Amino acid sequence: MEILNGFETSSVQRAVYLLKSGELVAFPTETVYGLGADAFNPYAVAKIFETKGRPRFDPLIVHIDTKEWLDKIAVEIPDKAKKLIEKFWPGPMTLILKKSNIIPDIVTSGLPTVGIRMPSHPVAKNLIKELRRPIAAPSANPFGYVSPTKAIHVANMLKNKIKLILDGGDSVYGIESTIISFQKEHVFINRHGAISLEEIQEVVGEVKDKKEITGTYESPGMMPYHYSPEKPLKIVNSPEEIDKKNSAFLAFKTPLKPVLSKYVRVLSEKGDLKEAASNFFSHLIELDQRDVEIIYAERVPEKGLGRAIMERLKKASKKYNVITH
């Protein structure tokens, strides 16, 4: 497996060659690293599912570099989707739209809709441009595990399962895109992510939380056990609740008193939610590698990007039923 500097032309050329040959390439985006395949090559897309150990019923996001692609792969785009596109693309927002028939069924797991995103990371943009086709890509982690925000995370997680990782530095948002879907004139958030609910409401008015409305996750990828470290994870309201020394603590802000845990990582010294989100996965991966029994994670306020953090923490904690909400 090679790791090449994604900002160099020769690296992108190598990646394009591999993608055209039906291979997978991991590449940086502003949210997390993606594991990409040529979206129009069903055999290549099938490799994504094998490599990640991902169930075939969990659809992929298609990454594009221009609006021309949007008009080719989506149909009946709602006005509110257009408004959101004007405001947030390129950037960390995925829209679930009715698909046209040029998207192979394996990409969408047979659904009549397709998830589409126009990333802003220069390496991702350049890769799609040079390939001249959209790239289907999930986050570049084994199914159910924490998403990678650095090239080295991908290298450790996927070992020699892929030929090439393009290194584009640390993902600036550090948390996945916000996923939005539409039904008639209504707008839903399917997954909280790097753009907050409040920012979306500013553009389209009322937005509903898909899970709160339907009581269920729209797609299998929204299953409760996502984003989980290998170690059990427990959410705590404050460091005082920590009762095991052989533990790691993912603190939201700098703790005011000494903490019982052997290892402590602080998401944001001053408690800034944007900074906390950007450090979330990388700190969690680091603590998961420590020799501890359990990871405690401090609850963060459920507003702004705090919703995205809490959504992931709750899923991670549910895996072991240490705490349920």
Beta carbon of residue 22, minimum distance to ligand TXA (angstroms, whole number): 20
Enumerate residues 110-169 that contact ligand TXA by CB under 6 A. Answer: 111, 113-115, 117, 137-139
Binding partner selected for residue 60 from Mg ion, ligand TXA, none, CB under the kind-specific 5 to 8 Å limit: ligand TXA
Judged by CB under 6 A, which of 168, 221, 229, 232 binds ligand TXA? 221
If one asks whether residue 94 binds ligand TXA (CB under 6 A), the answer comes out as yes
Nearest to 51 by CA among 1, 123, 125, 114: 1
What distances in angstroms separate CA 29 from CA 18, 60, 138, 254, 295, one per listed residue? 19, 15, 11, 29, 27
Stretch that binds ligand TXA, among 73-81, 148-156, 171-179, 296-304 (CB under 6 A): 171-179
Binding partner selected for residue 149 from Mg ion, ligand TXA, none, CB under the kind-specific 5 to 8 Å limit: none
**What residue is closest to ligand TXA based on CB?**
221
Residue among 32 and 248 whose Cβ is closer to ligand TXA: 32
Beta carbon of residue 59, minimum distance to ligand TXA (angstroms, whole number): 3
Q: Which two tokens stand for residue 26?
A: 């991991």
Q: What gap in Å lies between CA 303 and CA 279, rounded to an integer?
A: 17
Residue among 16 and 137 whose Cβ is closer to Mg ion: 137
Within 13 Å of residue 28, how many CA atoms lie on the same side as its CB? 27
Rounded to 5°, angle at Cα 50 from 124 and 190: 60
* 310 and 302 Cβ atoms separated by less than 8 Å: yes
Within 13 Å of residue 218, how many CA atoms lie on the same side as its CB? 20
Which stretches of the chain are DSSP H helices?
A: 9-20, 42-52, 67-73, 79-88, 105-108, 122-131, 151-158, 197-204, 210-214, 273-288, 306-318
Enumerate residues 34-73 that contact ligand TXA by CB under 6 A. Answer: 34, 58-61
**How do the residues of the chain divide into helix, strand and coil, expressed in percent and rounded to 5?**
35, 20, 45
Q: What gap in Å lies between CA 99 and CA 76, rounded to an integer?
A: 9
If one asks whether residue 32 binds ligand TXA (CB under 6 A), the answer comes out as yes
Q: What gap in Å lies between CA 30 and CA 44, rounded to an integer?
A: 24
Residue among 193 and 239 whose Cβ is closer to ligand TXA: 193
Residue among 139 and 190 whose Cβ is closer to Mg ion: 139
Stretch that binds ligand TXA, among 213-221, 276-284, 289-297, 302-310 (CB under 6 A): 213-221
Nearest to 221 by CA among 117, 306, 111: 111
Q: Determine the 3-state secondary structure of 286 from DSSP.
A: helix
Beta carbon of residue 115, minimum distance to ligand TXA (angstroms, whole number): 3
Beta carbon of residue 232, minimum distance to ligand TXA (angstroms, whole number): 22
What distances in angstroms separate CA 12 from CA 78, 134, 150, 163, one per listed residue? 34, 15, 18, 13
Binding partner selected for residue 197 from ligand TXA, Mg ion, none, CB under the kind-specific 5 to 8 Å limit: none
If one asks whether residue 139 binds Mg ion (CB under 5 A), the answer comes out as yes
Binding partner selected for residue 232 from Mg ion, ligand TXA, none, CB under the kind-specific 5 to 8 Å limit: none
If one asks whether residue 190 binds Mg ion (CB under 5 A), the answer comes out as no
Q: Which two tokens stand for residue 312?
A: 């992931």
Site string for ligand TXA, 240-279 (x = CB under 6 A): ----------------------------------------
Where on the chain is the footprint of ligand TXA (CB under 6 A)?
29, 31-32, 34, 58-61, 92, 94, 96, 108, 111, 113-115, 117, 137-139, 176-177, 179, 190, 218-219, 221-222
